[in-house]
Amino acid sequence: MPATAPTSLPRPRPEDRYWEELPAGRGRLPGRAHLHSDAPVVSLDGEWSFRLGQRADGSDLGEETTIQVPGLWQLQGHGAPQYTNVIYPIPRDVPHVPDENPTGHYARSVSVPADWADALAADARVLLRFQGVDSCAMVWLDGEEIGVTAGSRLTQEFDLTDRVRPGAEHRLDVRVHQWSVNTYLEDQDMWWASGIFRSVDLLLRPVGGIHDLRHIADYDPATGEGTLRVEATGIDGAPLQARVRVPELGIDAATGQELRVGTVEPWSAEVPRLYDATVATDTETVALRIGFRRVEIVGRTFRVNGERVVFRGVNRHEADPVVGRTQHEGNQDLDAALMKQHNLNAVRTSHYPPHQRFLDVCDEVGLYVICEGDFETHGFHADVTGEDPTGAAQGPAVDERFTETLTERTRRFVHRDLNHPSIVLWSIGNEAAHGPVTRAMIEEVRRTDASRPVIYEQDYFAQDVDVHSLMYPQHAESEQIGRGELEDAFRERLAGMHRVFGSDAPAAVLADPPALTKPFLWIEFAHAMGNGAGSLKEYMELTDRYEALHGGFIWEWIDHGLETSDADGNRIYGYGGDFGERLHDANFVADGLVLPDRTPSPALADAKHHYSPVAVNVEPGRVRLRNRYAFRDLTHLRAEVSLDAQQSWQEVELPPLRPGGETEVELPRHDGAVTTVRLLTRSAEGPVPAGHPVVIAEHVDAQRLTASVPAPAATITPRQEVEGWSVGPLRLDDLARPVALGDLGLVHAAVDLYRAPVDNERAFTATPLESRWKRIGLDVPRLRLVSAGIKGQELVVHRRLGLDGTGLGADITERWSADGERVWCAVEVEPSRFWPENLPLPRIGYTLGVAGGLDEVTYTGQGPHEAYPDTGGGTTHATWTSTLEQLQTRYVMPQENGNRARVVEAVLRGAPGQLQLTAPDGLGLAVRPWSTAELDRARHDGALRADGNTWVTLSAALHGVGSAACGPAPLPPYVLHARPVAFRFALQARS
């Protein structure tokens, strides 16, 4: 039904500041489960009338226009979104909000179908359901107040029965406020944007209908048998007699009793077995998908169906570059498919209950879910100094004015979703401190659903929760937790966080932390912002070593960039500051495993490898396999081996290998340098197709690989020319700088120590290397020719790389020689001896700028995706061909990207000709249409400017990328300390 333009708008009473009211919300029905019912429903989605103003009382509402529901008004041309990570965009003045409060007034006509008349005459009810409204709304029908919503990501229902007539047209008005008392509870790391962003419905609730339903489908791993209990209630809350039918199990029984159903196939993320069921009365039938499974904690072990499980998970916000938090089926299905195809088995719904359909998808495809409440008060941490009395200790966790609101919100979200087998843990929220109110919320979870454990990260010593968790602990700290022994420094760090975000931990807790008696997981780790996160391998290895460590959830799934244009008209993905905000957190909102359009980033491929359910370790003549599945053997997989760097494959017999088992499989021996093994699916399973590679691994014999690449054999003596030198086809100017290679012009050719910073190195991180590197001018080095001369068949060049304002630098030796058409360069780089130990180098390598565009690259090295010292899981040694565009990773904020590791040969082709590179010992290779300086300059991917040249970066050593945008810096093995480095490469121009 189209929206209508009301002739007059309802107004709240002048004294009624409902948007600041505690307890929040009024007139709503109690929460209940979201059910798939055959009872009649009328969707109110579509076009509504809309007016926008800046005052909550509606006194300045603007001209009428139209808007789409569901949707966010800022993404439909009304106002602008704003991104902050921590700080509230309004003053902390609980429970008040500013007078300047963007307010959208929605209106439309509503008609109750005439054929509902008989049901209403028999005392059926008509409900108005909002599935998501940010952040608070007053609802009127025909000018009469219906109620007020509270909890942006929570379903709200209102009873309209006594105010509607079948067949009649009514006017529905909804006044939505961007800021309300709910804002203080919903300070999640995402865009601030408002509106009716989930669906709106009219529901007919028939007499004798199933208003609420909950079921528990338990599984006994000792016997393989299941039990089922289904309880139904009417709208009055009284128990309701209904029939539960599960045809596949021969069940046809009354609700309200425990049914022993015999042998069943259990549900798990590995095998998400679901049974179709119905629960029916004479007037309504509800469809259920039942998964029999048991969740329990035994000592420090978290178990599903009797087996320890490891969460190979990700944190997922609801995000879309066009519609923001508004969800559609395509995104939900694609997210789940990509997760399953990349070996993820778990998702945390950070930091609010998701659109309920996503949980249906998780049930279906098999993803363990931590379902989280719509609760975060991070802004109360923003200016905490340890002595600031306005910090977290004054937040809602300890402010008992919020107790009723927060326990009601908790009860509402748990109640909505408790019928999903995929949910194995409840989380009350995120980064909201800990105190009496959060304790009450934890207890409310247990009262509402005692069948699942509770987790909450800011209960740092796990005094009240069932599962201990932390964000971004150091690798060594995680190992301490695994051992069950906290060192003094780590114990004091936890105590300090407890004091800042809650209260002093009791002495007994410090002495004997309850956390060390409970399972542990990383609720957030491996911050995937831009080029990162590093060291997934080392973190996941800990879960193999320590039974108490149950894996964790990468932060996060998707970059939240919004499609927009910059001042120059470039199409970009906007982040904080791109919409005129005064207060923002820049590109911190772009920190996902997939780019805004859901293109997988290299970090997702890295995660796929280290999250593999089968560990594959290739050695000469054999492969070691370890089955990391909790429930499956390997009969659903097949194995293949390549002995020629993936030019051909042959099948290898794969033993069934029970869960947790290890074995060795013999492989053919050969004289080549590379042995590659991959495991593939035999048949399609949900969104994972047949023939899908689950994991690929290799063994590379470095000595054989080097020996297989032609080595230098100088045959041409360099010559000194009038204005420089020549070494075979290479021409150098009077400063011994290469300027041409055959017919290829060189606009730049020099050793350098710099690469563009990644997000994990920027100023907002704990280790702001970018500012330190630029302070000493590593991005703009000065080269001085010390000497150049011919010695035998080499042109030997000595240079000094200096840095403005400091004595730091490096001594460089280049030895140029030629063997026919190839020119060889042997490079030695020796940084200053007094280089600070705590200042790593970005890289040590050589950069070429080739005049003209070389737009196709074939290389022999690690591929197909980028790799850095602490990333690149799943890359293997082969010959790969890519366009220049395919070699780039289009991070929302431009930064170092695209390096291919251990490249021994490469050919670049394009209009100017061909350039062949040879590096027998293997070098990092990045080929770009722009320079490192341009990567440094541009603030958005869409603003990068190609300069017509091809920039080739060869790296002998690189600093790891780490996770320091929010997590740890690179582990010690991946830190590039200043040290002497020698490397060699050859160049050859072809027409």
If you write DSSP's letter for every residue of 370-385 in order, what string do you get? EEE-S-B-GGGGTT--
- Phi/psi region, residue 421 (left: phi>0; alpha: psi -120 to 50; beta: rest), is alpha
- 535 preceded by a cis bond (ω within 30 of 0): no
Burial of 34 (0-12, 13-18, 19+ CB in 10 A): buried
Among candidate residues 566, 553, 581, the one with its CA nearest the CA of residue 966:
553
Would residue 524 show up in a list of annotated catalytic residues for this protein? Answer: yes
Say how many C-beta atoms besides its own lie within 10 A of residue 299's C-beta: 11
Burial of 508 (0-12, 13-18, 19+ CB in 10 A): exposed
* CA 964 remoteness from chain centre: 15
| Set 186, 270, 376, 431: catalytic member | 431
Pairing assessment for the beta strands 981-990 and 949-958 based on DSSP bridges: unpaired
Q: What length does the chain have?
A: 991
Beta bridge partners of 253: 244
Would residue 376 show up in a list of annotated catalytic residues for this protein? Answer: no
Sheet of strand 622-627: strand arrangement: 614-619, 622-627, 662-666
Quick one: the chain helix, strand, coil %, rounded to 5? 15, 35, 45
Among candidate residues 215, 236, 237, 211, the one with its CA nearest the CA of residue 226:
215
d(CA 632, CA 634): 7
Exposure b/e, 439-455, CB count within 10 A at least 16 = b: bbbbebbeebbebbbbb
DSSP letter (8 states) at residue 398: T
| Set 372, 477, 524, 866: catalytic member | 524
Q: What does the H/E/C string look like for 924-955?
A: EEEEECCCHHHHHHCCCHHHCCCCCEEEEEEE
* CA 838 remoteness from chain centre: 30
d(CA 891, CA 760): 13
Q: Measured on CA atoms in the order 447, 549, 553, 369, is the torsion positive or negative?
A: negative
HSE, side-chain direction, 13 A CA sphere, residue 454: 26
Catalytically annotated residues: 431, 524
